[in-house]
Amino acid sequence: MAPDPKNGSCQERLDVSEGSYPTISAIMFSAGVLGNVVAIILLEIRRRKQAASLFQVLVTSLVITDLLGTFSVSPLVLTAYLRNQSLLGMSENRFVCGHFAYAMTFFSMVTLAILLSMAAERWLSLGHPYFYEKRVSKRCGYITIALIYLLCALFCATPFFGFGKYIQYCPGTWCFIDMHPTVTKHKVFNIIYATCLLVMIVCTVLCNVSVIYHLSLMYRRRKAHHSSIKRQKGHKRHRSIAKEVEHLVLLGFMTIAFVICSLPLVIQLYFPGREDEKYGITPLTLLFVSVNPIIDPWVFIILSPPVPRLLWDKMCKTIKSKPTQEKVRSIHPVLYQKSPPGDSEGGSSLKVFTGIPGTAGS
């Protein structure tokens, strides 16, 4: 039996409950679209300068996934506020509510699966370099992304066939998994979904820890054999370690952001709370789930290697405004005059005159 909407439940509500405002949703939508578009532009600029690596392919797929997720749910929230209709009220057959819940569930799983793929790629490249060079390619990345999308799409569609349940939440602008199902198969769906998220989180963290371990080994080996390695090779090795650290920092912050955003949901799926809170879900939990696609692109924009390097180069060029001797000679050739070889110290044959008769400056 569905609870009475007047008693605070929004499961069957057809309008948006009072006291809710669209400002936060509009800000989140704008920030998400702007961040993802800027991130895609930066990735395209990098791709034109050099061939994209497998890691960059995975990062690009993650940004595109976040952008698709933002466009799948945020416009529906804003439309519900503008029309003062809940997601259920916007369609007679629950299609809008089902689409919203499906998109929330699907893109959460896909995002974490791609993050796991990025962590696994770094782990293989450092921990198993021979296998990585021989077996792993960009084609493997495209196949992995396609499999992730396919498997997540099939699993998240099972509530439409009776395994799992999507319902509406207050203020009528959210639809998601039923956190307090009474049917056993719906409970099983919740447990499987939470377990998948938890397993992927743990595996991603373990891969990142392994990458840190292998990076430390690389650094120790380089330091131990520094005296016996040529300077040029040592410089390349140093750049290789720096590049791996940049990838690790980017991946690490993205992982931390997703763990913070998804753990409250995982915990609430395992421990849904008291029975008198039925059909309720913590608003903060849904906020965290929806804010992750907004955080990811901005993390990439701030921590992506080309951005700090570009800013650093610009700053160095600004500071280095002092012209070289060759530039000064080309601009003011009168200031430079050849002198007899015997007049200069140390064999120098060039004197710079100040322009005052009888005086010269070096």
Binned at pLDDT 50, 70 and 90, residue 325 comes out as: very low
Residue-level pLDDT at 153: 95
Residue-level pLDDT at 308: 52
Asked whether the bond before 341 is cis by omega within 30 degrees of 0, the reply is no
**Digit-coded pLDDT (tens) for 11-23:** 777 887 765 667 8
**Digit-coded pLDDT (tens) for 326-335:** 444 455 554 4
Summarize the confidence of residues 62-67 as an average pLDDT: 90
pLDDT at 106 over 90: yes
Helices (H), the chain: 23-49, 54-83, 95-127, 129-135, 138-156, 184-224, 231-270, 283-303, 306-319, 325-331
Task: Show Cβ contacts of residue 268 under 8 Å, excluding neighbours closer than 6 positions.
Answer: 179, 281, 282, 285
Polymer length of the chain: 362
pLDDT at 105 over 80: yes
**101 touches 176 (CB < 8 A):** yes
SS3 350: strand
Q: What's the pTM? A: 0.74
pLDDT at 151 over 90: yes
Binned at pLDDT 50, 70 and 90, residue 150 comes out as: very high
CA distance 63 to 52: 15
Work out the number of other CB atoms within 10 angstroms of the CB of residue 74. Answer: 20
SS3 174: strand
Task: Show Cβ contacts of residue 49 under 8 Å, excluding neighbours closer than 6 positions.
Answer: none
Q: What letter represents residue 169's amino acid?
A: Y
**Digit-coded pLDDT (tens) for 288-313:** 777 877 887 787 777 766 555 555 55
pLDDT at 136 over 60: yes
Q: Which helix (H) or strand (E) holds 341?
A: none
Binned at pLDDT 50, 70 and 90, residue 155 comes out as: very high
SS3 169: strand
pLDDT at 182 over 50: yes
pLDDT at 59 over 70: yes
Summarize the confidence of residues 231-248 as an average pLDDT: 58
Lowest mean pLDDT among 87-96, 120-129, 246-255: 246-255
Whole-number CA gyration radius for the chain: 29
CA distance 29 to 32: 5
Binned at pLDDT 50, 70 and 90, residue 242 comes out as: low
CA angle (92 as vertex; 29, 18 as ends), nearest 5: 50
Task: Report residue 67 as tokens.
Answer: 């952008």
Binned at pLDDT 50, 70 and 90, residue 167 comes out as: confident
Averaging pLDDT over each range in 110-114, 166-170, 273-277, which range is the top one? Answer: 110-114
Task: Report residue 242 as tokens.
Answer: 């720096």
DSSP 3: P
**Residue 188 vs residue 42, higher pLDDT:** 188
Summarize the confidence of residues 200-223 as an average pLDDT: 82
**Residue 237 vs residue 33, higher pLDDT:** 33
CA angle (153 as vertex; 171, 42 as ends), nearest 5: 85
Binned at pLDDT 50, 70 and 90, residue 117 comes out as: very high
User: Is the CA virtual torsion 272, 274, 275, 281 positive or negative?
Assistant: negative
pLDDT at 279 over 60: no
User: Is the CA virtual torsion 267, 270, 272, 274 positive or negative?
Assistant: negative
Percent of the chain with pLDDT strictly greater than 90: 16
pLDDT at 78 over 80: yes
**Residue 60 vs residue 7, higher pLDDT:** 60
Summarize the confidence of residues 143-160 as an average pLDDT: 94
Averaging pLDDT over each range in 147-151, 271-275, 327-331, 351-355, which range is the top one? Answer: 147-151
pLDDT at 322 over 60: no
